[in-house]
A and B are shown apart, each in its own frame.
Chain A
Amino acid sequence: MRVPIAATTTGLVLGAGLALAGVTLAPDTAATIDSTTTVAASGERVGPTWHDEHETVVGSSVIVLESLTVDDAEALLVYEVLTIAPRAGGIVILDETGAGPGVGVTPETWVIETADGEYEASGRNTDVHEVRFEVDDQFTLSDVTGIRLTRYRMRMPYSYTVEVPPETGHVITIDDGYTISVDSVIPQTTSLVLHLGLEHPHDLFLSSDPDPVRVTGVGPEWLSATPRLPSGVALTREGPDVPDPLLLRVSSTYWITLDRPIDMNIGGLGLG
């Protein structure tokens, strides 16, 4: 092996020089670590803000208390629910007014806190963003020390396949209060008709919502799905064969009830 002396000598000198330069110019390591911080020097907030002052985060939404007024032993709380969710994927069906399904959070029951006690009230339904409290004659806004949300609903999406035996009367429970029942299995000459019952809780607070569960067959042999009254679906499948089990796809976005108290930000109400 031949070693090129000129190149090697030059390299050794250059390497030593670079190392010297590095030792001389390098900043102090400990000082660098200590001085690196995630807090701004001025103490101001840095980075993106996730919600504004006076907004209270509930799920993928914020609730903003807009006003609290008192009139004739009744306190009226008006609020707004705004989404802070990322852009939704999928397809939304707009109603005749051009409105979509709205945000996925809705408050239901509230408490006004005062030094002397609490007042409870419930909203009417998912579309009304105000709640009325019966209060004492002596109640004034300056008595209010806090407002608490005690029950609210969230829409949660579920989409999955289920295997159902083709037995009339068979019932599967898909969630608390939600069932799918096989009401009838009708093999015809060239097709199979399947009647399914879809039971869900009857809840006045959610009465403005349409049928919250959809069921279709899995496979290109399934030809159609037709709603059945009062709550159900008729599925038609090509051919007289009755698969066992039936493979069905269930999709839903019904409201889930959450009984967990959340203290609201009341700073924007301007209470005395």
Chain B
Amino acid sequence: MADDPLRDLLSSPLETTPRRGGGEQHQPRPPRGGGQGPWLVASIIVGALAFLGGYVVVGGEEAPPTTTAASTTTTTTMVAPPVGLLPDGYTALGDRLGVKVERILVRTDAVFVSLSSVVPNTLAPAESSGFQGGLWTLVLADGRQIGSVQESSDASAPGFFSVQFPPDGYSAADITGIALQAVAQRSAEDISAEIEAPFTIPADGTPITATLAQSTFFLDAGVNLVFSDVTLTASRAEMSWTVEGPDEDAGAIVYPYLELEMEDGTIEAAQVRTDDPTFGFFFAQSVSTRPTVRAGSILYDPIDPGPTATFPTDVPLRARFFASVSWAVYSPDKVMIPIGEDVVVTELG
């Protein structure tokens, strides 16, 4: 996480908000030993203050006016992102991404603000802009700020993304801007766990419960992924997961897999169904990015074809659980993106 490029890109030298994991450097160091060190340091400070006080009283006010070489001295040092070189209407997010509000769609059940994004043409194709999404607020003329629900992006609309907000009696004319409040840092990891002990699934449909040997996985500071026990019947296995911890903005996407093994080593794989089916995949040009969530449920079916397929019953089984997990945490930031005069507005209902 520490090498996330966006953390540096979107940081401001004026920003005082401590970043995730960065607070400790401001903590006072613990005292080390006794001795004369503190007296030496204190006296150095006192001596310096005494000299400077005398300098100001005696000579500082009578020092000749400062003359500068401002008109002839210039430097090529950049002190700010090259905002002036952005295309017209774009706001810089760091030095390698510009964004612009293109459209506002107001519906009775949701409000969407769609933006386009651009990168410098010096950016090599293999490089990323570093932007991985964020948390946003809608800024209204009356001072209200509405927090975002989720973002949408899709590989078939490269460079565009939409931010969804809840409706709250406002119209497009009330919206003065959209503010990025925090930037996402996304990570992924494969995890696995054994079921604690061998078990037997009754053929009569009676459910049994199996426990993972490890059910809690640390994802990030303040973010734990916790899996429930697995409930199995002859025709179905079920489990659920939650993201727990003090970081309430964090969320995850879980791609699970369950494998049953009989005593002779035969593997019985299970077909997985989750909350957000991707079967739309088969008749689309692309698959939309999925939002991270705080909880999910999982169903496993016997993978054998046929309506009466079952897991092996009345025989000892072991089980292994695997999951590819991706998650997002957020670092505070602040960038205001105005609503330009050329924004297209559609209001329904």
Complex Cα–Cα for A77 and B276 (A) = 45
Q: Which residues of A contact B141 (CB under 8 A)?
A: none
Judge if B61 is at the interface, Cβ distance under 8 Å. Answer: no
- Tell me if A175 and B105 are in contact (CB < 8 A): yes
Scoring B77, B155, B274 by chain A CB atoms within 10 A of each residue's CB, the highest score goes to B155
Judge if B75 is at the interface, Cβ distance under 8 Å. Answer: yes
Judge if B41 is at the interface, Cβ distance under 8 Å. Answer: yes
Judge if A138 is at the interface, Cβ distance under 8 Å. Answer: no
* Residue of A11, A13, A84, A93 touching B285 (CB-CB under 8 A): A93
Shortest distance between the CB of B24 and any CB in chain A (Å) = 29
* Residue of B42, B122, B159 touching A85 (CB-CB under 8 A): B159
Judge if B206 is at the interface, Cβ distance under 8 Å. Answer: no
Given that A30-B66, A101-B286 are contacting pairs, would A12 and B47 also be in contact in the complex, using a CB cutoff of 8 Å? yes
Complex Cα–Cα for A93 and B119 (A) = 24
Which partner residue on chain B sits nearest A222 by CB separation?
B277
- Tell me if A156 and B46 are in contact (CB < 8 A): no
Shortest distance between the CB of A92 and any CB in chain B (Å) = 4
CB-contacts of A1-59 with B (<8 A): 3-4, 6-20, 23, 28-31, 34-42, 45-52, 57, 59
Shortest distance between the CB of A59 and any CB in chain B (Å) = 4
Given that A8-B39, A176-B348 are contacting pairs, would A216 and B68 also be in contact in the complex, using a CB cutoff of 8 Å? no
Which partner residue on chain B sits nearest A103 by CB separation?
B158
Complex Cα–Cα for A272 and B294 (A) = 63
- Tell me if B85 and A160 are in contact (CB < 8 A): no
Shortest distance between the CB of B343 and any CB in chain A (Å) = 9
Judge if B263 is at the interface, Cβ distance under 8 Å. Answer: no
Q: Which residues of A contact B110 (CB under 8 A)?
A: 160
Q: Which residues of B contact A10 (CB under 8 A)?
A: 40, 43
- Tell me if A157 and B160 are in contact (CB < 8 A): yes
Q: How many residues of chain A get a CB closer than 8 Å to chain B's CBs?
A: 92
Judge if A115 is at the interface, Cβ distance under 8 Å. Answer: no
* Residue of A35, A57, A89, A173 touching B88 (CB-CB under 8 A): A57
Q: Which residues of B contact A20 (CB under 8 A)?
A: 51
Judge if B264 is at the interface, Cβ distance under 8 Å. Answer: no
* Residue of B73, B107, B114, B121 touching A49 (CB-CB under 8 A): B121
* Residue of B44, B51, B149, B156 touching A92 (CB-CB under 8 A): B156
Shortest distance between the CB of A257 and any CB in chain B (Å) = 8
CB-contacts of A215-233 with B (<8 A): 215-225, 227
Which partner residue on chain B sits nearest A93 by CB separation?
B285
Q: Which residues of B contact A154 (CB under 8 A)?
A: 102-103, 116, 157, 160
The 3 closest A-B pairs by CB, nearest first: A60-B159, A15-B47, A85-B159
Residues on B lying within 8 angstroms of A by beta carbon are: 36, 39-52, 55, 66-70, 73-82, 84-88, 90, 95-98, 102-103, 105, 107, 109-110, 112, 114, 116-123, 125, 128-129, 131, 149-150, 152-162, 164, 273-281, 283-289, 291, 297-299, 342, 344, 346, 348-349
Q: What are 12 residue pairs bridging A and B, where the CB atoms are less than 8 Å apart in the complex?
A: A11-B47, A28-B66, A37-B75, A47-B81, A48-B82, A86-B117, A87-B125, A90-B153, A90-B289, A162-B109, A218-B275, A220-B298
